[in-house]
Chains A and B, each alone.
Chain A
Amino acid sequence: MALALQKPFARTRYSVIPGFGITLGLTLFYLSLIVLIPLAGLVFKTAEMSLPELWRTISDNRVLHAFKISFGLSFAAAVINAVLGLVVAWVLVRYRFPFKKLVDALVDLPFAMPTAVSGIALAALYAPNGWIGQYLAPMGIKVAFTQLGILVALVFIGLPFVVRTTEPVLADLDREVEEAAASLGASRWQTFRRVIFPHLMPSLLTGFAMAFARAVGEYGSVIFIAGNMPYVSEIVPLVIIIKLEQYDYSGATAVALVMLIASFIMLFVINWLQKWSRSRREG
């Protein structure tokens, strides 16, 4: 890393293939123009605020509630995705049943669907007169326009991550190890817990972290089902939008900066988990 700082983007091995300078140059240029400079602008904008001012914006009661709701529900959604996503991956890799290819393709649907479209569809389903809501309402369970609704939306958009990170690891798993465990007298549950699960752990955590990171920033699929009540069901991205609509640009920026820092941390955690996962699979 120290070396990288001394001479960034210097070639470390000669190659006969042409185009290093131009392709790397174009990549860095486009990356700076579209991503880095605009993001740096956000940091500069926050720098215009004094520290007490920044602190007052972030520690405002309504903002704090939004942070608690966003991070808390995203965590809960990622836990649900980790458990049920692993079941889905397990079933897709190990069992045979009709229309398996179709089911496998369905897993990607939350990824391909526009968030606003998923949002109105979920809101319609879980509304008190909706297909699902009408059966929950007599039981006294309200989903749409409550925190439970936010949770449903976040589970929906996080679904592909755990399934897609654990699927290849499960498929690669050497069945002979399981046979060995079984022939040494381990029960199926013991084999899963002691042999299979430790192998899955890095990829499961990667999927969990990805689902969590995606959920924290999610906007479109949540706002239609959330009800958006301040202190109760208002997520952080919505707080940013509300501040923008009130022309409170520095307030919006301050909240956004906290989100951005959280995203950076998540990104580095995910990268680190992926490296761990890869070394586990190869080693």
Chain B
Amino acid sequence: MMATRNLITEPVWMRVSLTAVALTFLGVLVVLPVAAIFAEALSKGFGVYVASIIEPDAWAAIKLTLLVAVIAVPLNLVFGLVASWAIAKFEFRGKSFLITLIDLPFAVSPVISGLIYILLFGAHNFLGNWLIENDIQVVFAVPGIVLATIFVTFPFVARELIPLMQEQGTEEEEAAILLGANGFQTFWRVTLPNIKWALLYGVLLCNARAMGEFGAVSVVSGHIRGLTNTIPLHVEILYNEYNFAAAFSVASILTVLALVTLVLKTIIELRFSGFKTRRG
């Protein structure tokens, strides 16, 4: 017994060195940057830290970021539920092509995600001219930022739900329908309890990305301080002004958000071992 165990594992020195390589790699690559953010944020003391966050321009950026997330996340949440219902509960032609299309925003560079809205609403076509005549600003204003954020966070909820719902099949829903439940009751009482943890994780990821998106938003925002600056854009401005302590202080808000997202994910996974998140 002991002999076979030894044969299918590596010698101790090998195990120790592989573990050391993995932990060093993660430590240098992931842990140090996070530590650096908080160290730099607090480098000029706690007073400067708080002052950088409650200063009016930073505060305006925080409010805009919250506004964008409040619009983008629910829309993509509803879309994710609707799309995964159609894809997981029915058989139809072109399904895998549809899944590929839903994945598209993941494959596109964030800069291009912003560019497409500039081309669509910028003053270079009939739509752009019509918007100018009616005094509606989309690009370089809040609507453009919201649209670009929706695009970038489009697949998050759907991608968490589709594989899980496909795995769960349709038997429970069919039973509910045959017992007389209507479609909405079936979804609310049967499907939703089965997918709630994956749904929660999808929403958390979607929200973290919506609040943290930089490339796409940077293209469509006019970088107007206090007006069209989200938190990441405000961080960029502060950094480029060599105001490092303030830049890292504001950045630490988003770092905390990312850490909370991961802690919640780990708790969900630990408590509900049936639910395993998928990445891609």
Contacts and interface: CB of A to CB of B under 8 A. Distances in A.
Contact of B93 (A3, A41, A109, A175): A3
Nearest to A27: B83
Contacts of A260: 108, 112
A117 B37 contact: yes
Contacts of A117: 37, 212, 232, 235, 251, 254-255, 258
A164 B154 contact: no
Contacts of A253: 115, 119
Interface residues of B, number: 104
A217 B112 contact: yes
In this complex, the member of A10, A117, A175, A224 whose beta carbon has the largest number of chain B beta carbons within 10 angstroms is: A117
Contacts of A130: 36
Interface residues of A, number: 106
Contacts of B4: 179, 182-183
Centre residue among B11, B33, B154 by max chain A CB count within 10 A: B33
Contact of A16 (B87, B108, B178): B178
A87 B239 CA distance: 35
Closest 7 CB pairs of A and B: A114-B212, A217-B109, A182-B7, A164-B279, A121-B33, A220-B214, A219-B215
B173 interface: yes
Interface stretch (B44-52, B56-64, B97-105): B97-105
A17 B186 contact: yes
Interface in B1-23: 4, 7-11, 15, 18-19, 21-23
Is the contact region of chain A dominated by helix, strand, or loop, or is it mixed? Answer: helix
Contacts of B108: 39, 217, 260, 263
Interface string A138-169: 00000000000000000110011100110010
B82 interface: yes
Interface in B117-154: 117-120, 122, 124, 147, 150-151, 154
B279 A267 contact: no
A84 B24 CA distance: 11
Given A13-B91, A244-B219, A84 B36 contact: no
A237 B110 contact: yes
Contacts of B116: 38-39, 41-42
A109 B82 contact: no
Contacts of A30: 79, 82
Contact of B18 (A20, A87, A160): A87
A84 B32 contact: no
Contact of A15 (B18, B112, B174): B174
A240 B111 contact: yes
Chain B's interface: helix, strand, loop or mixed, by majority? helix
Contacts of A125: 32-33, 36
Most B Cβ at <10 Å: residue of A38, A105, A183? A38
Nearest to A167: B279
Interface in A68-118: 84, 87-88, 90-92, 94-95, 97, 101-118
B266 interface: yes
A24 interface: yes
Contact of B119 (A24, A164, A249): A249
Given A112-B208, A217-B110, A219-B111, 17 more contacts: A4-B97, A9-B92, A10-B92, A20-B92, A27-B83, A35-B154, A37-B120, A94-B9, A101-B270, A115-B215, A116-B214, A117-B235, A121-B34, A132-B28, A183-B7, A241-B219, A252-B115
A276 interface: no
B274 interface: no
A155 B30 CA distance: 10
A98 to B, nearest CB: 11
Contacts of A97: 19
B205 interface: yes
Given A39-B116, A224-B239, A26 B82 contact: yes
A229 interface: no
A218 interface: yes
A197 interface: no
A122 B251 CA distance: 13
A110 B239 contact: no
Contacts of A168: 276
Nearest to B31: A106
A7 B112 contact: no
Nearest to B91: A13
